[in-house]
Amino acid sequence: MRLIIFGPPGAGKGTQASLLETRRGLVQISTGDIIREAMKNETPVGKEAKAYVEKGELVPDTVVRKLAENAIADEDYDDYVLDGYPRTTQQAEWLTEFCEENDTPIDAVLSLSVPDEVIVERLSRRRVHAETGETYHLDHDPPPADIDPDLIVQRDDDQPETVRNRLAVYRDETEPLEEYYESRDLLLTVNGEGDIEDVYERIDSVLDERVATRA
């Protein structure tokens, strides 16, 4: 199955994509993770991306396109969930073309809907493991006590000012993709509020339904 998981920053895309990986065998392709890794390793892409990421801006389309297409090709064009890509109409159009050229169309686009006030709360309480990238929430999913607290950090782009900018960028550039995918009959909207497991169950059942109706 070829999926996109879509939603505002903090909607839980990464968390749910990683559950889809372990439970439905879809490889999680996160352009954000790929970019953060490149920044950590100070590769040319990482150096180019840094200024954008730190301000909560989008990295230029042409840069991200290559990262996403290479990652999809690495998975033999199937059984993946794209987390954080596409984020602009241009990226979505390129992705549609890329998938058509390879005769491997996207099967569904999951849209996680979460109100702004919940997002701001989630991101201000989100922490990550500096080495593994594992994410936690200080209240709902705290880091295990045996982890060195110095390794538990806040992402620079989770600072309140940057979060506000990321949300504005999301509304302007990314939200219009809902219509793009709705008009292609691919959009499946899921309520992203509540427990991680509850949200996963909703996702799992809409995917099962989609598989059954398309079979």
- DSSP at 88: S
User: What one-letter code names the amino acid at 60?
Assistant: P
By CB under 6 A, name the one of 8, 9, 143, 192 that touches ligand AMP: 9
Give the residue with the Cβ less far from ligand AMP, 93 or 208: 93
Q: Taking CB under 6 A as the rule, does residue 166 contact ligand AMP?
A: yes
Nearest approach in angstroms of CB 84 to ligand AMP is 3
31 near ligand AMP, rule: CB under 6 A: yes
- 105 DSSP assignment: -
Spatial separation of the C-alpha atoms in residues 135 and 108, rounded to whole Å: 25
Residue 44-73 contact track with ligand AMP, rule CB under 6 A, x = bound: --------xx--xxxx----x---------
Q: In angstroms, rounded to a whole number, what is the distance separating the alpha carbons of residues 10 and 74? A: 27
Q: Verify binding: residue 32, ligand AMP, rule CB under 6 A.
A: yes
Closest distance to ligand AMP from the beta carbon of 56 (Å): 6
Give the helix ranges, DSSP H, for 56-195: 61-74, 89-101, 116-124, 160-169, 177-182
Q: How far is the CB of 211 from ligand AMP (least distance, A)?
A: 26
Whichever of 87 and 202 has its CB closer to ligand AMP, that residue is 87
Q: Which residues have a Cβ under 8 Å from the Cβ of 122 and sit 6 or more positions away? A: 10, 12, 114, 137
C-beta closer to ligand AMP: residue 74 or 148: 74
- What's 57's DSSP letter? P
> Toward ligand AMP, which CB reaches closer, 34 or 201?
34
12 touches ligand AMP by CB under 6 A: no
What is the CA 203 to chain-centroid distance, rounded? 15
Total interface residues for ligand AMP by CB under 6 A: 18
Cα distance between residue 122 and residue 192, in whole Å: 12
Q: What sign does the dihedral 23-24-27-28 (CA atoms) show?
A: negative
Residue from 85, 108, 109, 128 in contact with ligand AMP (CB under 6 A): 85
Beta carbon nearer to ligand AMP, 48 or 57: 57
Which token pair is 60?
């230029």
| Measured distance between the N- and C-terminal CA atoms of the chain, rounded to whole angstroms | 12
Which positions are annotated as active-site residues?
A: 13, 87, 126, 155, 166
What is the contact surface with ligand AMP in residues (CB under 6 A)? 9, 31-32, 35, 52-53, 56-59, 64, 84-87, 91, 157, 166
